[in-house]
Amino acid sequence: MICTALAGDRKILQIRLEPDEGETLLNSIYIGKVQNIRKNINAAFVDIGGGITGYYSLTDNQNHQYVNPGTHKELRVGDEIIVQVSREAVKTKAPVLSGNLVFTGKLTVLTAGKSGVGFSNKITDRQWKNALRPVLEQEVGEGYGLIVRTNGKDASSKELLAEIRSLKKTCSDIMKSAPYRSCYSRLYQAPAAFLAGIRDAYADQLQEIVTDDTSLYEQIDGFLKQEQPEDAGKLRLYQDDLLSLSSLYCLDKAMEDVTADRVWLKSGGYLVIEPTEALVVIDVNTGKYSGKKTMQETILKINLEAAEEIGRQLRLRNLSGIIIVDFIDMAAEEDRKRLLEHLEAVVRLDPVKTTVVDITKLNLVELTRKKIHRPLHEQLSAWRKTSGNTKETLV
């Protein structure tokens, strides 16, 4: 098992587990066969081989990528189509498949089947975006869409265009080869999670990449030299017989903590985190707080601290979907506004799209976080059922 962790400010911010053998399913592209079409939910179920059947929304996928385009446009049972795994299987839910193929680079994301040029919400320089947009639109052309990632904000137009051309070539090669491949073939193997984690790390915050496994070191070294030569010097092989990499960064304790339903705050307050099938519920409590501030100041202090920790826990535990937070009730409207603004600032640091919706009439704060990977507690459960060593990569 390979454990990839992101550390910052002396804390573990994110953990991802993956088998050290076998293919990466998420973002890989396959030739699938339509097994069933359910008109009542406007979806199809597509077999991609290996005993895996994915959910394919007909609402989100109206233009299908047929392997051999025929005379019909409406999807039929038995059709062979090109699909990409856009979301991992979660509990009883099948993996989600998409016909809108996505190719991710360090600076940009290219989409086939959609159009338009967009920018990460974290890029706020409007003048820079307006000047660059026509250049990118001309390069992307018809049939493709593009999103400039947060890492693209400091890149030159030359670097952006070079990556776009590379991603377009990858897409073109896949589409050209598909008619000559058998059903259930894997047309594109997505990078392993530990490599994708390095690629997706914010460039201006990436200080060091550390691993204690020689084979992983060699894989990462090759990846960096080919894809991110500017970061090749940040890679280090950790070797210490007296203190393991896991112990140095307290990874074992971090993985134990994410299964606990209670998280203590420095103030003495605490969070109760309860993932359910439908949503995630988080309750904020005053706990052991014994400060000398007024009640209003005390509640605001604990709520602001809780908002900070909630942002970290959502990312660390990889909790997603609908999230309801029951903060301690505040009487002052300005305090509620300040809390929401602080929570929005915290979740903006999360690479996974997270949105603060509003406060309900019951004073519950609603959030949504995009579902991509399985929650960490499910990854841990699968890991504990397997045997063998765990290899660590720290980013």
Question: What does each of the 395 residues of the chain score in pLDDT, given as a tens digit?
Answer: 788 888 887 788 888 888 776 567 889 999 999 999 999 999 999 999 999 999 999 999 988 999 988 767 789 999 999 999 999 887 778 899 999 999 999 999 999 977 889 999 889 899 999 999 999 999 998 889 999 999 998 889 999 999 999 999 999 999 999 999 999 999 999 998 889 889 988 888 889 999 999 999 999 999 999 988 989 999 999 999 899 998 888 888 888 888 888 999 988 889 999 998 889 999 999 877 665 667 888 889 999 999 999 999 999 999 999 999 999 998 889 999 999 999 999 998 888 889 999 888 888 999 999 988 888 887 777 666 655 566 666 65
Q: Which of 370, 395, 312 is nearest to 13 (CA)?
A: 312
Q: Which of 353, 277, 346, 345 is nearest to 313 (CA)?
A: 346
Report d(CA 143, CA 166) in Å as an integer.
16
Q: Which of 213, 207, 211 is nearest to 231 (CA)?
A: 207
Q: Which of 117, 116, 111, 110 is nearest to 99 (CA)?
A: 111
- Six-digit token string for 346: 């915290």
Q: Is 95 left (phi over 0), alpha (psi -120 to 50) or beta?
A: beta
Report d(CA 148, CA 160) in Å as an integer.
8
So what's the pLDDT on residue 167? Answer: 95
Contact in structure between 117 and 137 (CB atoms under 8 Å): yes
- Six-digit token string for 215: 């084979």
- Six-digit token string for 90: 């979660």
Question: What are the distances in angstroms from CA 272 to CA 205, 253, 376?
Answer: 31, 18, 17
128 Cβ partners below 8 Å, 6+ apart? 153
346 CB neighbour count, 10 Å cutoff: 20
Q: Is 198 exposed, middle or buried (0-12, 13-18, 19+ CB in 10 A)?
A: buried
- Six-digit token string for 373: 């990977």
So what's the pLDDT on residue 16? Answer: 86
Q: Which of 189, 15, 174, 199 is nearest to 104 (CA)?
A: 199
Main-chain phi, psi angles of 164, to 5 degrees: -60, -45
- Pairing, β 96-98 against β 108-112: unpaired
- The radius of gyration of the chain's CA atoms, rounded to the nearest angstrom, is 23
Report d(CA 272, CA 292) in Å as an integer.
25
| The model's pTM | 0.82
So what's the pLDDT on residue 290? Answer: 60
